[in-house]
Amino acid sequence: MEWTGEALLIGVRRHGESSLVVEAMVAGRGRHLGLVRGGRSTRLAATLQPGNNVQLTWRARLEDHLGTFTVELLQARAAGLIADRKRLYLAQTVCEHLHLLPERDPHDRLLALALDLIDHDPDAAALARFELVLLDELGFGLDLESCAATGVTEDLTHVSPKSGRAVSRAAAAPYKDRLLPLPSFLSARGNASPDDLRDALRLTGHFLDLHLWSARRIDPPATREPLIDLLTGQA
């Protein structure tokens, strides 16, 4: 078995004395792991950094084997990320999010969004939208199109923390303390205040925790909260 494809490196871990298991998001193939023999060598150190784009060739005797990667660097980002704390935290958060995806299941829309996020100035609104797409692709998408109580499609101001469905201002009024704010920029493009951005990331964080972090007994990305503070002027 063999294939070649472009990929975003999202993680590495040691294997034996000299090798690495490399984790990558591969166009058309999703999250894929492979062994890089000699991956801990000085020659490959700069290439095998999360955030870099690479050309991978995967080989294995059978399709369900781990297999081996050979790697060619296409775009080095790691040095630039280290020099910019916001970009570094953003890239680390995005890579941690991509770890949540099932192996070998294509998610090219998420890969494209991840690359766009990493390659542009850090943007809290874009991160919130990325997290909404992540939830959607994992089968936990929010319904922000109409009110869960009345069916109206305008003046949607809150979200049910249980169902993930939007609630209109009128229907939300008696239950505001039990609902999550829905910033208008998530359902209708527009400007967002720092409070809107924090509310948006609180919203996505709630459902990521409900369906993924707590459900799988894993910690959220350690960089996510510091990143939110940096992007919303709290740090």
Q: What is the pTM of this model?
A: 0.94
pLDDT in the model for residue 11: 96
pLDDT in the model for residue 144: 95
What is the residue-wise DSSP string for 52-116?
-EEEEEEE-SSTTS--EEEEEEEE--HHHHHT-HHHHHHHHHHHHHHTTSPBT---HHHHHHHHH
Determine the Cα–Cα distance for residues 38 and 91; give it in Å rounded to an integer: 25
How many angstroms separate the first and last alpha carbons of the chain? 49
> Which domains, from first to last, does the chain contain?
2-76 (2.40.50.140), 84-144+182-231 (no CATH)
pLDDT in the model for residue 235: 59
pLDDT in the model for residue 79: 86
User: 148: which residues sit within 8 A by CB, 6+ positions away?
Assistant: 160, 163, 165, 166, 167, 171
Q: Block means of pLDDT (10 residues each) for the chain, length 235 residues?
A: 96 93 97 95 94 96 92 93 94 97 97 96 95 98 96 95 97 96 84 93 98 97 97 80
Amino acid letter, 110: L
pLDDT in the model for residue 50: 95
Closest CA to 114 of 139, 141, 133, 140: 133
